Amino acid sequence: MNVKRMKKIIVRIAFYLLLVVIGMYTVFPFYWAIVSSLKTGSALFEVEYWISQPYWQNYVSVFQEQPFGRNILNSLFVAVSTVALSLVLALAAAYAIGRIQFRGRMLLLFVILGVSMFPQIAVLSGMFELINSLGLYNNLLALSFSYLIFTLPFTVWVLTTFMRELPKELEEAAIVDGATPFTIVTQVFLPLMGPALVTTGLLAFIAAWNEFLFALTFTLSSEMRTVPVAIALTSGASAHELPWGNIMAASVIVTVPLIILVLVFQRRIVSGLTAGAVKG
């Protein structure tokens, strides 16, 4: 009996050790960024796992040496508009694909999925021509539109799946009540799809917020840059100096909004991911 108990305790300890290792592995890079962002230029190159004297100047100079505030606003605008656009379009598409019977429905769905399979670099030159001819070069709208390439496929898929699971009788009850398809989508389905919208919206937001390649290619001036590009192109006083302190401070600043968003919508995300598993 004692052996059994010992065994149980050892298994327990091993389990928690594993958790600690996994936790360290996932959190350490971010922790290192925070620690580095609070160091002076010379202290950066000393290995130190704890900061005795936080040095806040990096956080100030990030905003002084470049239009970083503007960059954050840019990112915010691009991410929010991308999310709004893709949710509206995806909702309409999901109603059509999920609720209306027509020929080639599955084909359409797979074409949409297929779009997301191309690597971004493959469509980059074509996209560039398109953006140029629309006169959107060095314009934030270029980013909002081009980001739809990778946000729409999964928003359409997730919302279609979700919409399919809504009972048909609910729609028919609304039809008998005299509702048009628009009313059905906006007044009956939309309120029920909150969790799905939050989940997909958040994923789209994160994708748009962190996107680098399109943002680098379609913008020119530093005022039009989004955060990832701005961080990557941060330059120091001389060409030979890489301002690690500033870069780390900037990275920490732009990660915080994402963490806050996820924490705020935590419950909704979980219910969105498991939606349809049980009858609501």
Partner 1 sequence: MAAISMQTVAKRFGKTEVIRQVNLAINDGEFAVFVGPSGCGKSTLLRLIAGLEDVSAGSIQFDQQDVTALEPSERGVAMVFQSYALYPHMSVYDNMAFGLKLKKTDSTTIQQRVQESARILQIEHLLQRKPKALSGGQRQRVAIGRAIVRKPRVFLFDEPLSNLDAALRVQMRLELKRLHRELGTTMIYVTHDQVEAMTLADRIVVLNGGKVEQVGTPLELYHHPANLFVAGFIGSPKMNFIAGKVVASNGKQVQVDIGAGNPIPVEVGEASALGSGAPVTLGVRPEHLSVTRASANGNNEPPANVEGTVVAVEHLGSEAYVHLNLKTDAPVEPLVFRANGDVVWETGQPVVLKMEPHKCYLFDDSGAAVARGH
Residue ranges in contact with partner 1 by CB under 8 A: 167, 169-170, 172-179, 183, 187-188, 191-192, 280
Smallest distance from partner 1 to CB 167, Å? 6
Smallest distance from partner 1 to CB 181, Å? 12
Smallest distance from partner 1 to CB 173, Å? 4
Q: Among residues 98 and 153, whose Cβ is nearest to partner 1?
A: 98
Cα separation values, 121 from 127, 128, 253, Å: 10, 11, 28
Q: Among residues 54 and 167, whose Cβ is nearest to partner 1?
A: 167
24 Cα distance to chain centroid: 23
Smallest distance from partner 1 to CB 188, Å? 6
Q: Is 277 helix (H, G, I), strand (E, B) or coil?
A: coil
Q: Among residues 6 and 170, whose Cβ is nearest to partner 1?
A: 170
Q: Among residues 41 and 276, whose Cβ is nearest to partner 1?
A: 276
CB neighbours (10 Å) of residue 271?
16
Smallest distance from partner 1 to CB 196, Å? 14
63 Cα distance to chain centroid: 24
Q: Among residues 142 and 174, whose Cβ is nearest to partner 1?
A: 174
Name the H helices within the chain: 2-37, 57-65, 68-99, 105-115, 120-133, 140-165, 168-176, 181-183, 190-192, 194-210, 213-218, 227-232, 244-264, 266-273
Q: Among residues 184 and 208, whose Cβ is nearest to partner 1?
A: 184
- Rounded CA separation 125/217 (Å): 9
- Residue 41 has phi, psi (to 5 degrees) of -55, -40
Smallest distance from partner 1 to CB 100, Å? 14
- Rounded CA separation 274/260 (Å): 22
Place of tokens 């360290």: 24
